Structure 1
């Protein structure tokens, strides 16, 4: 069988959907084949092991949740400060809630990482690279806050996103409003 990048993306997207909708136990080569509507055995031709499936899922999630360059170009023209920081966070929340399959699959991988050391190593490496990139971006953009603030925002946004995609603690709280309150409480006021 000829392996091609389009088919690999199709299978990775199917794996994301399976993981998001069926959880870790439902993630099998056969389930991926069925979800992708391809002949039986196709997924195993592209991903020989479950670890390869996990790596493909993480790579695809990263691609699907990548910021829109036009949105970021518009934000980059604004002056640095708490409001800009909040705007970047709102963009993150919109991307994560806008692709619930990718986000739920990521949460599922994190849960599986608690049970499987190989998954934990892969997910930890992916998360740490993301955190380092976020800290570097924040520094380059001249935004307030350092590494610790970025870590705290990751913790807070993880909870907010989980809440938005599952069962909200308080359905009256809008995600954008929660981000604004969080930024105003965690970051020092902009210098006047």
Structure 2
């Protein structure tokens, strides 16, 4: 039986409910995500989740939204963590960009693997629910569009295509480390820097060296 979600000071009831939903997805999968189970996990009176999200579709949409918020704290290109704590600027060159990308991805893989499991659960559910697919794709644009801008600033001649290649490389790595054959072999930050360097070198040419 899942333990109750601890409510941090200042956490809204909506966040408490959706964080509990994410916890259930990571532990039990989509079948374990019910309104009653969320109430129990969140430590709330029965009916609280139903009052917040009347239907399963509403609960799924709220969970997707919360997942995007939590992923944004780790992966949003506009807030990539740099060694010095500042966002990347094009004038800093590709080395700083590589360092930020590697640090963000390593932090996600080592500290938040449960969010990856939630993402895969919700993505698969979206393939069966057209209305959720539309909502899932809309939340994904908050990551894709800044990444295209990031590649443009880095000097990419084809930022849309290069952003897709970068996302595909990261997604493949994340799946392999979260649910695939490399789940016991998460790359180090140094290994990720090497991978990003090789990838950007192919995309950007001399600027990606």
TM-score range, shorter chain: 0.7 to 0.9
Sort the Cα spacing of 1:18 and 1:158 in 2 relative to 1 into closer, same or farther, 3 A. same
In structure 2, what is the Cα distance between the partners aligned to 1:154 and 1:122? 19
* Residue 99 of structure 1, aligned match among 112, 120, 124: 112
Find the aligned partners of 1:70 and 1:86 in 2 and give their Cα distance.
Answer: 10
Structure 2 residue aligned with 1:12 = 18
* From 66, 71, 75, the counterpart of 2:81: 71
Residues 7-48 of structure 1: per-residue CA shift (max 9 Å, x gap)? 111001001111122111211101111111111111001011
Counterpart CA distance in 1 for 2:11 and 2:147 is 28
Q: Give the counterpart of 1:86 among 77, 89, 98.
A: 98
Greater shift, 107-116 or 172-181, is seen at 172-181
CA contact (8 A) 2:177 2:185 kept: no
Report matched runs for 1:2-151 at 5 Å: 6-67=12-73, 71=81, 73-76=85-88, 79-97=91-109, 98-139=111-152, 142-145=153-156, 146-151=159-164
Contact 1:24-1:108 within 8 A present in 2 as well: yes
Alpha-carbon spacing, 1:52–1:77, altered in 2? closer, same or farther (3 Å): same
Q: Answer yes or no: is 1:189 the counterpart of 2:206.
A: yes
Deviation at 1:168, TM superposition (A): 3.4
Which consecutive residues of structure 2, in runs of 5 or more, have no partner in the other structure? Answer: 1-9
2:194 paired residue among 177, 180, 190: 180
In terms of mean alpha carbon deviation, does 60-69 or 103-112 score higher? 60-69
TM-score scaled to structure 1, two decimals? 0.82
Shift of 1:128: 2.8
Gaps of 5+ in 1: none
8 Å Cα contact 1:138/1:144 also seen in 2: yes
Cα distance, 1:67 vs structure 2: 3.9
Question: Secondary structure of 1:40's partner?
Answer: coil
Aligned-partner Cα distance in 1 for 2:17–2:26: 14
8 Å contact kept, 1:33–1:42: yes
Name the Cα RMSD after superposition: 2.8
Give the alignment's TM-score, normalised by structure 2.
Answer: 0.76
Structure showing greater relative contact order (alpha-carbon pairs closer than 8 Å, 6 or more residues apart): 1
Stretch moving more, 65-74 or 117-126: 65-74
Q: Distance in 1 between matches of 2:187 and 2:126?
A: 30
Higher mean C-alpha displacement, 30-39 vs 6-15: 30-39
State whether residues 82 and 144 of structure 1, in contact with CA within 8 Å, keep that contact through their aligned partners in structure 2: no
